[in-house]
Amino acid sequence: MLPFKTYLVGGAVRDQLLGTPIKERDYVVVGATPEAMAAAGFKPVGKDFPVFLHPETKEEYALARTERKTRAGYHGFEFHASKEVTLEEDLRRRDLTINAMALDPEGGLIDPYAGKTDLNQRCLRHVSEAFVEDPVRVLRLARFAARYKKHGFSIAPETLALAQKMQASGELDALVPERVWQETRKALEGPSPEIYFEVLRDCGALKVLFPALEGLFEKKAGDLAMQSLARAAVLSPRLEVRFAALLHLLDESQLKQLMQRYKIGQPIKGVAEIVSKHYQEFPTVKTSEELLAFFHACDALRRPERFVTILQACEACFSERKQLSRAEFLLNILKALQEKLKKEAIAPGSKELSLPAFFYQKKREYLEEIIEDLDVPPVIS
C-alpha cells in the first residue's frame, strides 16, 4: 500500500473509455514528495519536474504539478510540484479535455473538465485558455484530429480559433524543427495523415511550418497532394511511401529545403527525391528503352525492395487503378529481367562496345522479349 494517492491519467483513460488499445500508462501522484517516492522504491528520471519509474512495472509516475508561462516558446514554462497541488490543478494544465481525465485506484472516473462528454460527442476541445501558451499543442491538435478521424472526431470551433490566434501571434515561430518532425512523423504513420496537414492549414500553421505545401494550395494543387497522401495511407503503412506521395508535386529546390529544415535522412529522403523526379513517367513507360531508363533512375536492379516502395508512392499519385496496376506490371517486368540476367551467362561478344554499353544492350534485348509476353496495362490518367 503506497503512502500517497495515485491516479491513472491522460491517454490511457481516454483510450480505455473509447475502447481502443492502450499503448502506455501514466500516473499522477498527489500528496507526495520526491523523498517519499524514493523511499517507496521509485527511481527518479525527470529532468524538468519530478517523474519516477515504478520499481516493478517501470511505468511513469509524475508528481502533481502546475505550470506558469514565463517566456515565449514551449520551453518557456516554470513548473511547480508539491504536496499541495491537487489532481484537478494538474489536469487543468493539459491540452484537450479528452486527455484531462483520471481514474482512481478503484476505477472511479475523475472528470473535472467534461472530457467524457466531449469523448462521447467526438469533440476535440481545449481545457482552458492556457492552451495558447504551448505551440506544440497546435501540432498535437492536428495529430489527434488525424488519429481519431475514423472515430468521427472533429475540432471545436473555439479551439481552432485559439490555434489560429497562436499562429497570428507568432507563437509557432518558437517550434524547433526536431519537435515539428517528431509530431509530423507520428501523424504520417497513423490513420488519415492528410487530416494532420489540413488542420495545420486551417489554423494557418502550414505556411509557417511547411510553406512549400501551402504554396501548392495557392496553386490549386494542395488537394491533389492530400488525396495522394490519403491513397498512400491505404496502399502502405511505410513512412517513405506516404511522405513521398505527399511531396511529389514539389520541385527539386522545395524538396531540398524541406529535407534540410527537418534533417530528414535516408531512406525517406531518397525515395521522395526519386518519386518527385520520375512519378510522371510511372503511368506511361512501356518500351524497352523507357523501362530500362526508369529502372536505372530508380536503381531498381540493385535495390528491388526499395523499388517496391517507390512504385507504391508513384501509384498513390494517380487516382485511377486498373485491374492489373502499373506498379504490379513494372514489378513483374523487373522480376523477369532479374531472372533472365541470372539465368543467362552474358559475355561480351563485340569489342566495338564498351562493357557498360554491352550490358545495356543485352538488358534492352531481354526487355523486348519480356514485354512481348506481357499485356501492357492501359495508361493511368
Whether the Cβ atoms of residue 67 and residue 126 lie closer than 8 Å to each other: no
Check whether 139 has a pLDDT greater than 90. yes
Span of 75-89, 230-244, 280-294, 303-317 with lowest mean pLDDT: 75-89
**Residue 79 banded pLDDT, cuts 50, 70, 90:** confident
Query: How far apart are the C-alpha atoms of 210 and 197, rounded to whole Å?
Result: 9
Please give the pLDDT value at position 138.
97
pLDDT > 70 in the chain, percent: 91
What are the residues whose beta carbons fall under 8 Å from the beta carbon of 246, sequence distance 6 or more? Answer: 188, 193, 197, 213, 225, 228, 229, 232
**Residue 381 banded pLDDT, cuts 50, 70, 90:** very low
Please give the pLDDT value at position 319.
80
Tens digits of residue pLDDT in 255-302? 999 999 999 999 999 999 999 999 999 999 989 999 999 999 999 999
Q: How many residues does the chain have?
A: 381
Domain boundaries, the chain: 1-116
Span of 103-117, 150-164, 177-191, 365-379 with lowest mean pLDDT: 365-379
**Residue 69 banded pLDDT, cuts 50, 70, 90:** low
pLDDT > 90 in the chain, percent: 74
Check whether 379 has a pLDDT greater than 60. no
Tens digits of residue pLDDT in 105-123? 999 999 999 999 999 999 9
Please give the pLDDT value at position 196.
98
Query: How far apart are the C-alpha atoms of 74 and 175, rounded to whole Å?
Result: 7
Query: How far apart are the C-alpha atoms of 27 and 62, rounded to whole Å?
Result: 6
**Which tops the pLDDT comparison, 250 or 49?**
250
Tens digits of residue pLDDT in 13-41? 999 999 999 988 999 999 999 899 999 99
Please give the pLDDT value at position 323.
43
Please give the pLDDT value at position 73.
57
Check whether 162 has a pLDDT greater than 70. yes
Please give the pLDDT value at position 49.
75
Please give the pLDDT value at position 75.
59
Check whether 46 has a pLDDT greater than 80. no
Beta carbons within 10 angstroms of residue 100's beta carbon:
28
Beta carbons within 10 angstroms of residue 152's beta carbon:
9
Query: How far apart are the C-alpha atoms of 361 and 231, rounded to whole Å?
Result: 37
User: Domain 1-116 adopts which CATH fold?
Assistant: Beta Polymerase; domain 2 (3.30.460)
Please give the pLDDT value at position 345.
57
Query: Is the sign of the CA dihedral 119, 124, 130, 135 positive or negative?
Result: positive
**Residue 352 banded pLDDT, cuts 50, 70, 90:** low
Whether the Cβ atoms of residue 23 and residue 11 lie closer than 8 Å to each other: yes
Query: How far apart are the C-alpha atoms of 220 and 174, rounded to whole Å?
Result: 29
Please give the pLDDT value at position 23.
87
Check whether 72 has a pLDDT greater than 80. no
Please give the pLDDT value at position 362.
86
Cell of 335: 522480376
